[in-house]
A and B are shown apart, each in its own frame.
Chain A
Amino acid sequence: MTEVQPSVDQPTPVRDTVPAAALGIRRQTQFGDIRRRFFRNKLAVLGLAMVGIVFAMAAFAPLVAPYDPRFQNLQNTTAKPSAAHWLGTDELGRDQLSRIIYGSRIAIVVGLTSIVLALLLGVILGSIAGYRGGKADSIVMRTADAFFAFPLLIGAILIILVTGRGVLPVILAIAVFTWAVPARLLRSSILSVREAEYVEAARSLGASSWRIVTRHVLPNSLAPVLVYGMVSVGTAIVAETALSFLGVGVGVDVPDWGNMIAAGRQFFGYLDYLWLYPSLAVVFTVLGFVFVGDGLRDALDPRLR
């Protein structure tokens, strides 16, 4: 989230003035304000902690997990939670806790990369559409409309049907049917920024289009896109697990929450812990991202609250 860092509303300090710190003045940057507002929001901090836990789980999975998530013990299948297997074992005798811990890797990797990809695509195409206008605008936006007509899950199924299952296809499928929203958001906020006086000033100083867009327009119009991105990491994780749940996800041999829930549902009504614990992992992660996203939105624009 460091992209919002430069304090865009502040005039760039002229070199030969005395640094503010030397005068004993605490400089108040826009970023500082945003950070302060964010950390004052208890729910946002809670969300950050939740996301942090999931990240730590994913990063240190081999250290934290008590067993190899793929190790099958056919002597000890569908065991109830016990001291040896805190969350029990599945129908192939694999340790559920270890599979949940390793499952965080897939969730995080798919959630983050698909959204980063979608945002990149959306930002590039959206800024071309918004800044250039005219023909480029209509081509990009009509393409966005066409992709927008597909519900995320339905579109993703279509892509995976073509490419086959796997981690990469799932990432691509989610990104391809997500970029249209950030592209629209960015385009409309660029349209409102484009005619601002500071952009006009930069243009009259002879700045190139590239410089104007990257230095002046984007920093002032990225906020809604970033908020959208934060919340959609949660949406992407839900989509990823839902695809696995339907059998068109990352592949059955991968320790993945959606796979675990789908397999566990066969024991619905008598071995409910098999689907309940991985479900809780999904809910925990998604809520974490939703809290952070909501907190970020309120911090970036307190009027929206």
Chain B
Amino acid sequence: MGRYVVRRLLQMILVLFGASIILFVSLFILPGDPIGTAAGERSRDPAVRAVLEKRYGLDKPIPVQYIRYVGRVLRGDLGESYRQRRPVRDYLWDRFGATAQLAVAAIFFEIAIGISAGLVAAVFRYSFWDVLVTLTTTLAIGIPTYVGGSILQGIFAQKFGWFPRSGRSGFSSIILPAFTLASVDAALVARLMRGTMLEVLRADYVRTALAKGLSKRTVILKHVLRNSVIPVVTYLGIAFGGLLGGALITEAIFNWPGIGLALATAISTQDNPIIIAVVTYGVGAFVIVNLIVDLTYAYLDPRIRLE
């Protein structure tokens, strides 16, 4: 296990290195003249320019600039927002709570809806329920988030008034955005669950369990469910990493004050430091959660470590 952990850690560092290069290159060629912005009219004076370039380290060779950039990111220094007039880190930290809350609620929906729908579809294969699950999941996958979210908002908030239309105000306000956010993943979980369960149902040990006289109910709950839930758990873990990175579209539609909404706002106000920070943070969250999922998986299933 120890060697596997080390290997995966090294791999993660490599991925983060590659991602940071992509980010650094984008930063570097981002349009705009930072010196001109800072110094205004005076930036035409070469002497002023040289002083400022020296102060911000822009006269250093590119590799040195890259290392300084990585150092800043690791210290959590993500620059200062143009519009908010405060450090990006503090601004995003305020928003993280809302995003985390939404992510947890969405995962809850994914588990509850995805696993039970997949279970029903597999156990009653080719029945009306199976067809219903297949159709619904196809629709959920085919309908873009911003369309599905708008429609849910139109029906349940605007027309019936069961939930608040937008914003973050108490328990009822989280239902619609969390459901919207969960819909695609819940559909994929249901399909995955159905597929693996059908496979497990064919396994020899299931036949043995049935042959020795256990009821179908016991076999499904005790033997089949446990063995088919492993890939689903892996999938959910990876999905959670993506969710923590902020739900761009969902948060924008429901005006949910999380990291995704911060990004959407920053795009419309061209607040580049925030955009870059959110992207950096999103990539980091995704990679780290992926690593945790892989390690957990390797811990549960020793065969993985040998690969």
Specify whether A and B are partners.
Answer: yes
Q: Give A contacts to B, CB under 8 Å.
A: 142-143, 145-151, 153-155, 157-159, 161-162, 164, 234, 238, 241-242, 245-248, 261, 265, 268-269, 272, 275-276, 279, 282-283, 286-287, 290-291, 294
Query: Given A157-B275, A279-B150, do A286 and B142 touch, yes or no (CB 8 Å)?
Result: yes
Residues in chain B near residue A241, CB distance under 8 A: 144, 146
Q: Is B224 an interface residue (CB 8 A)?
A: no
Q: Is B158 an interface residue (CB 8 A)?
A: yes
Q: Is the pair B248, A158 in contact by a Cβ cutoff of 8 Å?
A: no
Q: How far does the alpha carbon of A234 sit from the alpha carbon of B144 in the complex, in Å?
A: 10
Encode contact with A along B141-158: 1 for CB under 8 Å, 0 otherwise.
Answer: 111111100110110001
Give the shortest distance, in Å, between B254 (CB) and chain A (any CB): 12
> Interface of chain B, helix or strand or loop or mixed?
helix
Residues in chain A near residue B158, CB distance under 8 A: 268-269
Listed A/B pairs (23) with beta-carbon separation below 8 Å: A146-B18, A146-B21, A149-B15, A149-B16, A149-B18, A149-B19, A150-B22, A151-B242, A153-B248, A154-B245, A158-B22, A162-B29, A242-B248, A245-B146, A248-B267, A268-B153, A279-B146, A282-B144, A283-B143, A283-B147, A286-B144, A287-B138, A287-B143
Query: Given A149-B283, A158-B26, A269-B158, do A287 and B19 touch, yes or no (CB 8 Å)?
Result: no
Q: Is B182 an interface residue (CB 8 A)?
A: no
Give the shortest distance, in Å, between B199 (CB) and chain A (any CB): 11
Q: How far does the alpha carbon of A6 sit from the alpha carbon of B144 in the complex, in Å?
A: 36
Residues in chain A near residue B151, CB distance under 8 A: 276, 279
Q: How far does the alpha carbon of A241 sit from the alpha carbon of B272 in the complex, in Å?
A: 22
Q: Is the pair A146, B15 in contact by a Cβ cutoff of 8 Å?
A: yes
Q: How many A-B residue pairs have CB under 8 A?
A: 122
Residues in chain A near residue B278, CB distance under 8 A: 154
Residues in chain A near residue B143, CB distance under 8 A: 283, 286-287
Q: How far does the alpha carbon of A158 sit from the alpha carbon of B145 in the complex, in Å?
A: 20
Q: Is B249 an interface residue (CB 8 A)?
A: yes
Give the shortest distance, in Å, between B70 (CB) and chain A (any CB): 14
Residues in chain B near residue A150, CB distance under 8 A: 19, 22, 279, 282-283
Residues in chain A near residue B249, CB distance under 8 A: 153, 242, 245-246
Q: Is B30 an interface residue (CB 8 A)?
A: yes
* Residue in A143, A162, A286, A291 whose beta carbon sits within 8 Å of that of B30 in the complex: A162
Q: Is the pair B146, A142 in contact by a Cβ cutoff of 8 Å?
A: no
Q: Is the pair A154, B279 in contact by a Cβ cutoff of 8 Å?
A: yes
Q: Is the pair B248, A246 in contact by a Cβ cutoff of 8 Å?
A: yes
Q: What is the chain A residue whose CB lies nearest that of B29?
A: A162
Q: Is B268 an interface residue (CB 8 A)?
A: yes
Q: Is the pair B146, A242 in contact by a Cβ cutoff of 8 Å?
A: yes
Q: Is B252 an interface residue (CB 8 A)?
A: yes
Q: Is B203 an interface residue (CB 8 A)?
A: no
Query: Given A147-B22, A245-B249, A248-B267, do A142 and B142 touch, yes or no (CB 8 Å)?
Result: no
Give the shortest distance, in Å, between A302 (CB) and chain B (any CB): 15
* Residue in B11, B17, B23, B242 whose beta carbon sits within 8 Å of that of A158 in the complex: B23
Query: Given A142-B14, A268-B158, A290-B138, do A157 and B19 touch, yes or no (CB 8 Å)?
Result: no
Query: Given A145-B15, A159-B26, A248-B267, do A275 and B150 touch, yes or no (CB 8 Å)?
Result: yes
Q: Is the pair A149, B267 in contact by a Cβ cutoff of 8 Å?
A: no
Residues in chain B near residue A275, CB distance under 8 A: 150
Q: Is the pair A158, B144 in contact by a Cβ cutoff of 8 Å?
A: no
Interface residues of B in 201-232 (CB under 8 A from A): none
Q: Is the pair B286, A149 in contact by a Cβ cutoff of 8 Å?
A: yes
Encode contact with A along B113-154: 1 for CB under 8 Å, 0 otherwise.
Answer: 000000000000000000000000011011111110011011
